[in-house]
C-alpha cells in the first residue's frame, strides 16, 4: 500500500520580503533541460539536475540557476518558473520548452490576464532576449514571486526590482488571501 508523507513548515515571510526588496542574482546553468523528456513536465522525486545546477550557481556566488533547453531556449529556473517583461509585454516559456508548469505560474498567468492590460505570451525566449528584459521574476509556491536583478554579469533593467513585478506580487497576495 502507498504511504503518504506530508511535511509542512511555516514560511519565513521576513526572509522573502528582504529578498524581494533586493532581488536575486542568477546564472545560466551548464546543464540543459530536455524538452522532449516526459519527466520534464511532471513533478517527481528526481531533482538531481536541479540540485546540481543550483549548487553550481551558489558556488559561483549566485542565488539561482536558469536552465536552457536542448534547443537553446530558456526553460525555467532550478526551483521555479520564469517571467520576463519587455516594453510592457510579458513573456514566459511554454510548457513545450521542458519546464514543469507550476501552480504559481498558472495563477500568475491568470492574474496578468484578469487584472492587467499587458499582453502575455507563452513563447520560446533566447538567452539574449532574456538579458535585454526590462524586468524578470521567478515564481514558485514557496516564495511566490521574486524579482531577478542580474543574470550573470548583466543587470536586468535598472538592476533593482521593477514596478510590474511588485504590482503582480501585490495582486497575487490579494488573490491568495481571497481563496
Q: Which residues are designated catalytic?
A: 43
Quick one: which H or E segment has residue 51? helix 48-59
Residue for cell digits 536575486? 24
Long-range contacts at 51-60 (CB < 8 A, ≥ 24 apart): 51/78, 53/29, 53/78, 54/78, 54/79, 56/29, 56/30, 56/31, 57/26, 57/27, 57/29, 60/27
Amino acid at each position: 500500500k502507498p504511504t503518504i508523507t506530508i511535511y509542512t513548515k511555516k514560511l519565513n515571510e521576513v526572509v522573502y520580503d528582504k529578498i524581494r526588496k533586493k532581488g536575486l542574482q542568477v546564472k545560466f546553468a551548464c546543464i540543459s533541460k530536455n524538452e522532449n523528456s516526459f519527466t520534464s513536465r511532471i513533478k517527481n522525486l528526481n531533482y538531481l539536475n536541479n540540485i546540481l545546477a543550483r549548487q553550481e550557481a551558489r558556488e559561483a556566488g549566485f542565488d539561482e540557476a536558469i536552465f536552457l533547453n536542448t534547443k537553446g531556449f530558456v526553460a525555467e529556473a532550478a526551483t521555479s518558473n520564469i517571467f520576463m517583461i519587455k516594453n510592457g509585454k510579458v513573456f514566459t516559456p511554454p510548457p513545450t520548452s521542458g519546464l514543469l508548469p507550476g501552480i504559481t505560474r498558472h495563477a500568475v498567468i491568470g492574474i496578468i490576464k484578469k487584472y492587467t492590460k499587458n499582453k502575455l505570451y507563452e513563447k520560446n525566449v533566447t538567452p539574449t532576449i532574456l538579458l535585454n528584459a526590462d524586468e524578470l521574476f521567478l515564481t514558485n509556491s514557496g516564495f511566490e514571486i521574486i524579482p531577478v536583478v542580474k543574470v550573470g554579469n548583466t543587470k536586468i533593467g535598472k538592476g533593482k526590482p521593477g514596478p510590474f513585478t511588485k504590482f503582480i506580487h501585490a495582486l497575487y497576495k490579494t488573490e491568495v488571501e481571497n481563496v
